[in-house]
Structure 1
Amino acid sequence: MKEGPDIALLGSLIGDPARANMLSALISGKALTPSELAEIANITLQTTSAHLKKMEAGGLIRQRKQGRHRYFNLADEDVAGLIESMMGLAAKKGHIRTRTGPKAPELRKARVCYNHLAGELGVQMYDSLISRKYLHENEDEVTLTKAGKDFISTLGIEIDTLKSSRRPLCKSCLDWSARRSHLAGSLGTALLDHIYAKGWARRLNEVRVVEFSPKGELEFTAHFPL
């Protein structure tokens, strides 16, 4: 009998097309109902419920009840990172499903990946922090340097508060559209919240797009220059 982590189970859960579509939708970080997920996967509500039970049992999603309604999210940031990384690998290998539409360029420019900034501007922010030695990257490990702590503090973000979280402070996440890394972890979330709080950008309703105003993009680039 083979021992160790059962990646075959994860593969079977993610590999089903309907479940893959639902997981890709949940990477937005927004809680969705079974009916909404059924529409996304283009399957019946009864079939959706069966898929949701399997994914919940496998630790990929979690549900919350509010009154008579049920809402589903990804279980945690590790699952979100896995889905985004698989999307990045699929794009890198040329496994692309063509979906044209007005939101496609905007999604590539700036979008939400679970709870942090992704897309071209997410990669720009990550590269800027690396190039100025605010972040140190060693293979898959990303750490915040002393200079980085000082910079983050100037933004009004409390590092000690972020460190008290059970989540990792810094984590790289492979961006599916840019095929390079952007910043995840509690710091990635805090920086996206800072962008919203400063009024540089807003998240469009019902989609993953993060829309920057012209002035907001200038401010963003001033803080995270290429």
Structure 2
Amino acid sequence: DREGLLGKDTLLFHCIETDEEDKQLLCESQAYLVHCPVSNQLCSEGTMALGQLLQGGARIGLGTDFLTHDIWEVMRTTYRELKMDSHPERWKAEHVWKLATTSPAPQLYQGSIEVGNSADLLFIEDSLSLSPLVELPTFSNVAFNTLTFTRSEHIREVMVNGKWVIRQGKSVLLDEQEIETTYRSLLAEIFSNQLLHARERQIDRSDPAYQQRMLT
């Protein structure tokens, strides 16, 4: 803060080692915080004081930290964390949806369906595992059910900037089979080279038998 690095354009990840003064600065500066709960748990690094920071007015969104982590798992983990807060009644599924969608919107220019935003949309399959979805004037379980029960396999259609990129669960832009084949081939080559180097390092180069092989 003394160097003027904290502000609305500052992007901070994890924020797991914050004292009370740090939390106050993060809320006052309106720096943007990215919460990565699954990564934090897997690495046993601690966790963000999410509920306290939200109550203090901090700007927070959700992140996976790794490409292979599932954003739905991140959302559910975040919801469970909030429900472990000293005031669990404060937090609803809608709060988590906001953290995953409209909260990052100023940073990414997306997150909500409105004029001027990119048409970046994903479509959740109408699965029985989400049922019953109830939307009434006095009650709705849609946010909770979709948060709790949606899995990646329920996302069959994805649109980016108004153009389809996934249809019926398959990319319309890339050859997935070719990518997978190339990826597996590269992995095999990388690990094969690593094993070869490891074996070479284990060879006793002073061994007469090794020296004889090198001469022949």
**TM-score exceeds 0.5:** no
Work out which of the two has the higher radius of gyration on C-alpha atoms and give 1 or 2.
2
Q: TM-score, normalised by structure 2?
A: 0.26
Q: TM-score, normalised by structure 1?
A: 0.26
Answer 1 or 2: higher relative contact order, Cα 8 Å, separation at least 6: 1
More strand by percentage = 1
